[in-house]
Structure formats: C-alpha cells, structure tokens
Amino acid sequence: MLNSNFNSWTLDSIEEYFGLVQVRSLPILDQLLTYKHEVNNYEQKFLNGLREDYFTLGGDYWNEVELENKLISPLIIFSGIQNKEFSYFLNRELRDKIGNIEISGKVDGMIATGFRNPKKPLFCLNKYKRESDPNGNPQGQALISMLVAQHLNNDTNPIFGCHVIRGNWCFMALVGKEYAISTDFSCVDDEIFDIFRIMKSLRVQIEKLI
C-alpha cells in the first residue's frame, strides 16, 4: 500500500489516478454561487472593516496563520456557519484509503457535522499566501481533501471546497467523478460581499445534506 500526503497532489495527478474530470459547471456549484443575500448595515460595516484591514495593513504579505486569523476565520464565523449540528474546524486531519493509496493530511479549514470534533466532512478549505508554494498545489490540495471527504462519507452527496490564495477565493464542488471550480472572488473590493453571500449559501446547502 502506498502512503501519500495532501500536498503531493495536483489536479493532473488526481485526474490520472482517480478518474476525476473537471467540468465547466455543476448545478450544485451554480446554486451555491447564485444564492441571494442582501447585507444589512451591521454586516456591511464588518465586511468593510475586513476589506480595509487587508488592503491597508499589508494583507498580501501576511503569512498563512495571519491570513487565517485576520481574514478567513472572521469572515466564515461571521456568516453564521456554526451550530451544534455542524461547525467550522481548523487544522484537522483527514485520512482514508482509496484503492491502494492511503491519503492523509491536515485541512486548513473544514466544515463538518459535530461541534466538539468533526464527524462528517462537507466542506474543505486550503489557503496559500501565494500562487506558487513549495509545499503544495492550491487547487490540487483542496480537491484531494474533498475526494477523501467524499470517500469517508460513502454517499452520493456533493462535497464543497475552496482554496484561498492571498485575498482571492475560488469555490469548488465535487459530485461523483466530476468537479468544478469557480472564478475567483477578491476580498479587496466589493466581491467580499459575494464571498460572504456564498458562505451564507453554503449553510443552506449543508442544511439540505444533513
């Protein structure tokens, strides 16, 4: 049996070994991205604060811990994604054997059922401070964690994901052997409201799955 870590995978190697196919769009990802939510004054003030801090306080130069603590987690938690049925977990391990390969790694951010410890993973997020990183491929690492989550769940429900490179967020969905990746959304302009809206949408989608 072969052992492999998340950071050794790319989109090409995942497609080659596991037969996944990238498609232009998936209905479930389209639903996630087109959800309607009008921000109220309180939400607008908070999100504007995150955006301004990133822009004025050197967000492009934050390391990954700073990016997580100053931008990603505050935005996700503020979206109301947590309750006693499912929650947002940080730096938790996923591990499973797929075929003859045991794949494992820590997911930067994961939404899963449970509130003390993750049970059923439903969303996997990976973050990078730059496009090219010596410790992995952003899209590949997000997708392989989603594939392991799908295999662990042993059902036909979609798995959602996201990779964040500096202030740019791309959302993903995996259904069966097909996956799709959105265009990127930037936190330094009004697209931060889209990111927040999509996280609101994610809660709605997760509630349908559990």
CA distance to 7, 20, 36, 74, 75, per residue, from 193 (Å): 30, 31, 11, 14, 10
- pLDDT at 127 (0 to 100): 87
* Predicted pLDDT of residue 129: 59
Q: What is the pLDDT of residues 34-84, one digit of tens each?
A: 999 999 999 999 999 999 999 999 999 999 999 999 999 999 999 999 999
Residues 15 and 22 sit within 8 Å (Cβ to Cβ): yes
Q: Where are the domains of the chain?
A: 2-209
Which band of pLDDT confidence, cut at 50, 70 and 90, is reported for residue 14?
very high
Q: Can you say how many angstroms the Cα of residue 112 is from the centroid of all Cα atoms in its chain? A: 12
Whole-model pTM? Answer: 0.94
The rounded distance, in Å, linking the Cα atoms of 74 and 76 is 6
CATH fold label, 2-209: tt1808, chain A (3.90.1570)
